[in-house]
Amino acid sequence: MDDNIILKTEKLKKEYGAGENAFLALNDVDLEVKQGEFLAITGESGSGKTTLLNCLGSLDRPTSGKIIFNGRDITTMDDNGLSAYRRKSIGFIFQNYNLIPVLNVEENIVLPLNLDNTPTDKEFLEELLKLTGLDLKRNNYPHELSGGQQQRVAFARALIHKPRIILADEPTGNLDSKNSREIISILKSSIKKYNQTLILITHDGSIAAQADRICRITDGVLSE
């Protein structure tokens, strides 16, 4: 395998149900993603985009096939191994911000570290707060923030443990065009600065056009 390939799938399948009710959400998906690449995945609702992202992030297990991260097949890992993979190597950003209402901005950002009993890199935290424009909002609570600001908190939270890969599922879906542009700009700056890989699902053609590469899923089949 190319040394620059950070994530790869081979004949990946995900089937839900059984018999006459069986539904093939992913059908022999072969994908290679390079370290530092910005990959956009597009497709209609129900085409398999989120299922693919969930399998890549080990939030869901494929029915068959391989997912190879940094040379290791994660489909052979037990639950503890998969949990460590998610905590240490993957940063998730969802359409819904999933912030904790009783925690302020800084506390929401460092929450993954606290749950993992990992010390906070204070210097990196300050760097993220400035990168996302939240340095003056660190003591504010989610209800005191705009939608764009809340998504920036979710973004910083996804980055705080310095993941190799960022998986973003419609991260601008609840935002207006101005905030969408700003979030994508921050994401692009981040992956360039920290040499991270970004796999992003979007319905927005203008966002997809900013990626290094675009893949499309139709009825569980991936194409470029």
Distance, CA of 150 to CA of 161 (rounded, Å): 19
The pLDDT, as a whole number, for residue 224 is: 87
* Residue 213: per-residue pLDDT: 97
Strands 5-16 and 23-34: antiparallel
CA atoms of 49 and 46, how far apart (whole Å): 7
Q: What is the pLDDT of residue 177?
A: 87
CATH code, 108: 3.40.50.300
Domain around 112 = 5-223
Determine contact, residues 109/156, Cβ cutoff 8 Å. Answer: yes
Residue 2, pLDDT score: 65
Q: In order along the chain (224 residues), what is the average pLDDT of each group of 10 residues?
A: 86 92 94 96 93 96 97 95 93 92 97 92 95 95 95 94 94 86 89 93 92 96 94
Distances (CA, A) of 55 to 59, 210, 222: 6, 24, 14
**CB 103 within 8 Å of CB 150:** no
Instruction: Evaluate the CA torsion angle 181, 186, 189, 190 in order and state its sign.
Output: negative
Total domains present in the chain:
1
Please report the pLDDT score of residue 19 as a whole number. Answer: 83
Contact 160, 109 (CB under 8 A): yes
